[in-house]
Structure 1
């Protein structure tokens, strides 16, 4: 299972780089109880995107509020070539990567019953502030000015996809085997009894052909053992997105501001389906004039636990083995 840098990530953005106008549009079993979220400035953040919608048989009113998307499946997207199967079992996936602190607070629900999906294994992975994926630095389409990270490849990648993306905007591309042992900004953790799971990471950067995004997979019906999580199926493969205002604000902060990679806006992205929360658009909280202090992103993810959605042509089952965190 891979991170996403697919054939349709090569759509070249128009106009200036990141400073553009807004005119374009085996996981260790968690302890009992909900996880407290340490948010911006170290304060404890109240449960975000709590779902209070009652099941009535009627469709909810259109809204971008995560809590009102109860009856809608969150959009499925491509897995992409850079996923690594549950390689790091942890909630803090930052490692030593520099960037704006991001607390990612998710709630996984059954979209039919609106009940929380407990004990699900949730994988997240994304690129660093300069667009590089761990394990795949030689493939990633990142670029930056100033002093590059110590694990950045030298020279210009020769295998960045070219040409038009496949029809349908979902992306393609087979899985690539990792080319390095790095695993920053990747992690797997377990939903609690209320369906919540929290990750600590950094605000993602961008790379050629894609807007800022985070990948996610939800695995269900597996068995939790002392060794971790075994078997089960992947019921959801998707991506989370960031509004343009937040990305433009991040682009003023180092190391994002050193990037020389042409940026694709949310409106231009070929994978985001423009449907707001249903399409993976995160609800963000941060200090408007000081995003560097940190961001809290939340979303209710509606899934069909009986479905199989791997985001690939292969319906491979997830398998997790214990590893150091």
Structure 2
């Protein structure tokens, strides 16, 4: 049976526990081994897991339901599709050896970027607010690399740029840098300086939602835009403990992953031609950055972090649905100080 999937294995290779020393070489080696073996050992579960989620979405589409967060993803249908149905994804995978070695399997924790807002991401599924764009229904499944089982009740936290490449709260550059171009060399090559946070209350395209009993967290958003030096991407964090706040957001005390998720370049190029993506201010100035040319080299170092994309209806403008499976190690705990409370970096990521 052929297996089509977008699979993200998040090896906690550089983790540290709050108040404890950095992981030992043995711990790092063990984490890497779990990551390397995950797709091989868990292949049957991964196949069934993808089939279950895709079948649920396909059933809802056939039923002709409304396209909102409550109806696009029906939990009662998730157990359907456990028959190993063929799936669409980043690459066709024919055997377990390929599943283990293919670029759909990746690792490495990456930067959260400078636009993460502590206590600024509402606990919700519909994250678009007033932002216009192509509807994008996001399905993220979380699996335990130790057991191959879904991880329920962890908080999946995501955020991304709008159609013109801006993040909520950061609409404009510093006035002194309005004519700044991409850095020509160094670690910031291709990037602009971070846009300041001018608005403390904007929350569009930011959300967090706990995984259900199937280890799945789902969101309704718009397809993300791009900005200088970066390929189209969505940021993700996975928290195991969190405290809801009165304003609808949360604080976290235990983080097990920080990463970024990508989309195939061919699809990005098609969407670039659709309004309002045609209004991106750098479209005719510097142009978009392809995955392989991402200034932070994130996609290059983890090429399997790509959504499995399907059209919702008969035409692209009806929206897209993206699935991805994330393998995490719940035993690890990132240093909360470095993960959530350090000052933001000085360059736009």
**C-alpha contact (below 8 Å) 2:172/2:196 kept by paired residues:** no
- Write out the 4+ residue segments of structure 1 that deviate beyond 6 Å after TM superposition: 38-41, 50-53, 153-156, 223-228
2:113 is aligned with 1:80: yes
Aligned match for 2:267, one of 222, 246, 251: 246
Aligned to 1:91: 125
Q: 1:224 to 1:96 in 2, by over 3 A?
A: closer
CA distance in 1, matches of 2:83, 2:333: 27
Q: How does 1:1-325 map to 2 (within 5 A)?
A: 42=66, 44=72, 60-63=96-99, 74-87=107-120, 88-139=122-173, 157=178, 162-166=183-187, 178-180=197-199, 181-222=201-242, 231-261=252-282, 262-269=287-294, 270-273=297-300, 275-277=302-304, 280-286=305-311, 290-309=315-334, 314-316=338-340
Kindly state the Cα deviation for residue 85 of structure 1 after the two structures are TM-superposed.
Answer: 2.2
Q: 1:86 to 1:92 in 2, by over 3 A?
A: farther
**C-alpha contact (below 8 Å) 1:74/1:301 kept by paired residues:** no
**Higher deviation after alignment, 226-235 or 84-93:** 226-235
**Higher deviation after alignment, 281-290 or 245-254:** 281-290
**C-alpha contact (below 8 Å) 2:131/2:162 kept by paired residues:** yes
CA distance in 1, matches of 2:206, 2:156: 11
CA distance in 2, matches of 1:317, 1:220: 17
CA distance in 2, matches of 1:286, 1:244: 16
**Structure ID, larger Rg:** 2
Q: 1:156 to 1:316 in 2, by over 3 A?
A: closer
**C-alpha contact (below 8 Å) 1:86/1:123 kept by paired residues:** no
The SS at the match of 1:62 is: helix
**Residue ranges of structure 2 left out of the alignment (5+ in a row):** 1-52, 85-94, 343-349
Given the two structures, how large is their TM-score scaled by the length of structure 1?
0.65
Over aligned residues, Cα RMSD in angstroms?
4.2
Which has the larger share of helix? 2
Kindly state the Cα deviation for residue 223 of structure 1 after the two structures are TM-superposed.
Answer: 6.2
Given the two structures, how large is their TM-score scaled by the length of structure 2?
0.61
Summarize deviations over 1:286-309 as a string: whole Å, max 9, x none: 179832210000101111112234
The SS at the match of 1:296 is: strand
Kindly state the Cα deviation for residue 121 of structure 1 after the two structures are TM-superposed.
Answer: 1.1
CA distance in 1, matches of 2:82, 2:147: 12
**C-alpha contact (below 8 Å) 1:51/1:300 kept by paired residues:** no
CA distance in 1, matches of 2:182, 2:256: 28
Larger relative contact order (CA 8 Å, sep ≥ 6):
1
**C-alpha contact (below 8 Å) 2:172/2:195 kept by paired residues:** no
CA distance in 1, matches of 2:78, 2:309: 13
Kindly state the Cα deviation for residue 271 of structure 1 after the two structures are TM-superposed.
Answer: 1.6
**Residue ranges of structure 1 left out of the alignment (5+ in a row):** 1-33, 54-58, 140-152, 319-325
